[in-house]
Amino acid sequence: AQRVTQPEKLLSVFKGAPVELKCNYSYSGSPELFWYVQYSRQRLQLLLRHISRESIKGFTADLNKGETSFHLKKPFAQEEDSAMYYCALRRYGGSQGNLIFGKGTKLSVKP
């Protein structure tokens, strides 16, 4: 069964500290992985996707098929990074919008 696991419910760091939000997935095929972010009182929005291999707002994520992971990283956290972060997987061959989400990790960046 396809599954996305985000082991940390809450991650609290100080401003300027490195951040790593963990995401592991269970899927036998070729997944497409995403990170979505939800800032306070705002809508869910795409942060990045593994096929783009880009850095958004200083965040990067690398798909590691061997470890079935797609951890989100940022070398120096900022207070404005505080938000809920959701890792999501799209099945190959599934409808475009059939995403499987993890439970989310709340990132709190303290001054």
Q: Footprint of other proteins on this chain (CB under 8 A)?
A: 32, 42-46, 49, 86, 88, 90, 94-104
Considering the complex, state which of residue 17 and residue 46 has its C-beta at the smaller distance from other proteins: 46
Considering the complex, state which of residue 83 and residue 100 has its C-beta at the smaller distance from other proteins: 100
CB of 15 to other proteins, least distance (A): 28
Cβ burial, residue 85 (10 Å; 0-12/13-18/19+) = buried
* 110 contacts 11 by C-beta, under 8 angstroms: no
* 47 contacts 35 by C-beta, under 8 angstroms: yes
CB of 76 to other proteins, least distance (A): 27
Considering the complex, state which of residue 5 and residue 15 has its C-beta at the smaller distance from other proteins: 5
Considering the complex, state which of residue 9 and residue 111 has its C-beta at the smaller distance from other proteins: 9
CB of 75 to other proteins, least distance (A): 25
- 51: amino acid identity, one letter: I
CB of 2 to other proteins, least distance (A): 11
Nearest to 22 by CA among 56, 57, 68: 68
Nearest to 24 by CA among 4, 8, 9: 4
